[in-house]
Structure 1
Amino acid sequence: MKKFKRPKIVTLAVRLTITMVAVSVLPLALIALIILLGVRISEADRRSLELNNQLELYVAFAEQLIASDGDLQSASNILLSRPVGSGDGAIRVFGSAGQIFGANGSNSAFPSRAAASQFVTSIPTVFVAETRGRRYVAGQVRWQQKVVGVIEVSQSVEDEDRLLRVLIRFVFISIGLAFAAAFLGSSLVARWLARMIGQLRETAEQVADGDLTERALERGPSEIVQLARSINTMTDQLAERLSRIEQQSEAQRRFYRDVSHELRTPMMALGGYLENIEDAENADEQAQSIRAMQAEIARLARLADELLRNDAQPSLTLGPKQTLDLGAMIHELVQNLSGRAQRSGVELLAQVPPRPIVVEADRDRLKQALLNLFDNALRATPPGGQISMRVSLTADQVVIDVQDTGEGIPTALREAIWERGVRGAEGGSGLGLAIVRTILRAHGGEAMLIPSEQGAHIQLRLPIDG
């Protein structure tokens, strides 16, 4: 089987060079050819005009010489003694029938075609000849309306041929120099253009490979600059679209983390209530825990509805605010989590002022923030440790300090614990403290980390009424 041979690909630089050389040299060669033809025709016309003028003078002079007797043969010696223009000129005098009366200068043995056409009798073609490199003209000499002879004047065209040879040599040298200059200039320009196009191609390939930081150099001819600008614009638009896709992907991942974390908090509360029901000694305590579970189930339904709603607003939104006793809510949470704390071997303490602490808040969101805070503390505190919650009042704020005896928050993470996705050594989704701060700020409050020698110390501040 004959192996297929792939044809060689001619590079862009070679094609551009050939094209530019052809475009520049071919018109020059055509112009040179036109000039040569023009010079040749002009010289031929000049030479013919000069010979015709000389012929008219000789014919007129001959007719004057034979005006009395019509004897051209006798007058031929006088005619032949006159010079024939410049250069290698020659003259011959013929009778009317073709017989030669006399001649001077270089010539052939037979009359020329110009002379033969003037005889009164025809001359056989075999007796007609011309010397190569000469131009001939001939005219009739008349006496009393009769042709008595023919005068033939000729001149060498060697000067014309020499001039043409010089011009042709000059043209070939000029075309050769022009070709060399055009080839050199075209090669430089072609390589320059090919290099810029190659750079644009490399940029496009790098962008196609995923490097969206690469940009084409906007330099060179306007067309190359426009092409580079289009590539850069395309790259910017592609980077922007990929950034949007990444943002959407991150928003999707964040949404699933939020769903997981938001739903885990009420589930944790329900688990605590179930544990309290198991530990309850009378029906009243069980009924109280069941009512609390029903409230948590309702809150779980509201959270699921909020999380799964197609809301274009990415920030957290609060539900209707209501007046509530923050101290009672904290006691409820401590009671709910006491069973889990006992099974974990952790002591749970709460110091709450005896008087009501009235705040305007979204009950579910505020409870979610406190549960997240307790959940983080319980997961970070080892068995035998302690979690304390102390509530104090200022003129216009309630301050909640939650401190545990765990390993604490690493120094490298202290500035980043309020960001989504940041996880501590105990694991988790990395959303707890981020949601706590978001909820507190939505209520006009703040969550902050207090430096502590042991464990983690989180402080919450919330505006109060009255």
Structure 2
Amino acid sequence: MLRPEGWSLARRLRIRLLLATLAVALMTLLAVGAHYGSDHSDLRQRKVLEMAETIRSIAIQTDDPARVPEAVAAAQPEYANHPTAYGWRIERDAGRILAQSGFPWAEVDPLLPGDRPTEWTERTAEGAWLAGAAFDRDGERWHVVTAVRGDPAGLFWHLVLNELALHVILPILPLILLVFWITSSAIGQTLRPLEDLSQQARRIRALHDLRPLSVEAAPAEVKELVATLNAAIAALAQARDGERSFLLDASHALRTPLAAVKARLELSAETIPKSSIEADIAALIRLSSQLLALANSERLVVDPGRRIDLEEVAIDVACKLEPLAHAAGARLDVVRLAGAELVNGDPDALAHALSNLVDNAIRHSPSGGRITIRVCGDPMGLEVLDDGPGMEVVQETSRPDAFARAPFVNGAGAGLGLSIVSRIMAAHGGDMTIRNREPGGLSVRLNLPRSPL
């Protein structure tokens, strides 16, 4: 599978999910920490009593009481590093001190040995915390007393952090990992339809398979996007088929006249009139121009903000083709009907389309006939009327290939020009309608949508 370029939606969702989970965990830690911090008296009592129990364990495990200070210094360096803040001593019921640290015990007033329970804590008037723990040794009652005044070693905050780690982080960490794994898997499953759509879209690269994308499994948020892509794919398929049809039509349209010219030159190159050769070449030039116009009409893009007057287009075309109509013995008029307004369009493309229709009308109108260009208002558009023979088969459709081989009565081909006109109208969002007139003649109408105000 190809790695997607740019940012990954799944990766971004997982990162944001992880950040959100960590933020919730941090808020939980802060809330629990604030709770512990607000109950600092209980924590300090626990800490000083824990220190007393540690000294008691050291005293019980040490055979010689004289070696207790050395063992305490090795296990609890804060007593030596901060002697005025942390202190300990061991005494018997008789009040005889067996060992102690350099703490200023005279500044505190601990309970007398006889009044002490097995474990106790006390806060002095000076703000110091005292704790005691008793144990039996050598048939006597021994007492351990610890004192804490201030906290330069941060023992209290170490206790808070240990509580957070023990009661918050350790229980919640597996839950965070489990939630992240479950939601990450859910994200992957949720985005699976998008991956399927991506797999379907990859087949379009070579333009061989232009089937629309399946929207059945697509989420509702991207169905409109998929529908838009399908419309683009359909347009691409139509353009591809149009290019193929254009190549076939072009090759077919050029093959016959070229073969005819070649045959005439081979059979009677010396006796053939020059005017005949010139007429054949002129016909080929005209056909080539129409093929080029047909290709350009496929790429026509109309500026949605451009508004034009159809009467100006009609007059410009009439002025250019009037000499051709006069030479054919036909009369060419322009009529503006009521309701005609400005429309959105490309004047050059519409002029080309109208020129094709007028040229066809001139070539197929009898001498003395009348050709009329009407600027219509309801619906907006242009209409070309003539007195010619009309068409044998009238196809009222705007499909570009519909008129490819629709012959006039006299057998002259008119398909390529009408195909160009149809494509130009499709680019404008309009269409073309053709009908025979009574008692004779043809009406070709170019219908354009009304421009928004």
Same-fold call, TM > 0.5?
no
**Radius of gyration: which is bigger?**
1
TM-score, normalization: structure 1?
0.35
TM-score, normalization: structure 2?
0.36
